[in-house]
Amino acid sequence: MTTHAPRPHLEDSLSPRRVLASEPVYEGRIWDVRSDTFELAPGSEPLRRDFIEHPGAVAILPMDEQGRVLMLRQYRHPVGMDLWEIPAGLLDVDGESNLDAAARELAEEADLTASEWHVLVDFFTSPGSSSEAIRIYLARGLAEIPHHERHERTAEESEIEFAWVELDEAVAAVLDGRLHNPSAVVAVLAAAARRDAFEQLRPGDAPWPAHPAQR
């Protein structure tokens, strides 16, 4: 008779290791590169890893009363493509809460406010090479910001195009390989999975202990 090990609890957990040395090797305008030397176990051979030290970001999936989601089209130079995305931005304002940052980015990039906020999903973009953590919010109860109060978008953001899309259409675009922005892909699939139970999502002000800078 085959025996099986108990099913593990499916939850990521903090795993502090002894850091022997940590030094910046590059300081950039938005993020830095850091080199850490650490032990997996006491007395084990030290390992050295370079990684991007990132402030993290928030992204927002705006959904209207018809269940459509707002997508933005924006040029991304590193990949040389115009990508359909969702509003997003860095956590780079001192003292600003995650939710306040999301509200600010929704206003700046989509000219919208929202009265209902839920945490849709949290994820790391590339945990093998970056500390970047992203929290995606579901924003509903939307209202347009008057034209005279809107943020003036510059650089790549000045070219942003908007489209209201049925959620099923967005899911099909993801699964057909037509959408590539990670926040948009994760948000669309998560919203589709929870579309009948949005009220069971975490509240907008839920803590974020997995974020490296918020532990």
DSSP structure string for 68-87? EEEEEEEEEGGGTEEEEE--
208 within 8 A of 97, measured Cβ to Cβ: no
Burial class (CB in 10 A: 0-12, 13-18, 19+), 134: buried
Catalytic option among 11, 157, 166, 199: 157
Q: Is 105 a catalytic residue?
A: no
Describe the strand order of the beta sheet including 19-27 as a list of residue ranges: 19-27, 32-38, 47-53
Q: Which residues pair with 33 in a beta bridge?
A: 26, 52
183 within 8 A of 61, measured Cβ to Cβ: no
Is beta strand 68-76 parallel, antiparallel or unpaired with respect to 112-124?
Answer: unpaired
Q: State the Cα–Cα distance between residues 88 and 57, nearest whole angstrom.
A: 7
Residue at 24: amino acid letter: P
98 within 8 A of 58, measured Cβ to Cβ: yes
Annotated catalytic residues are 157
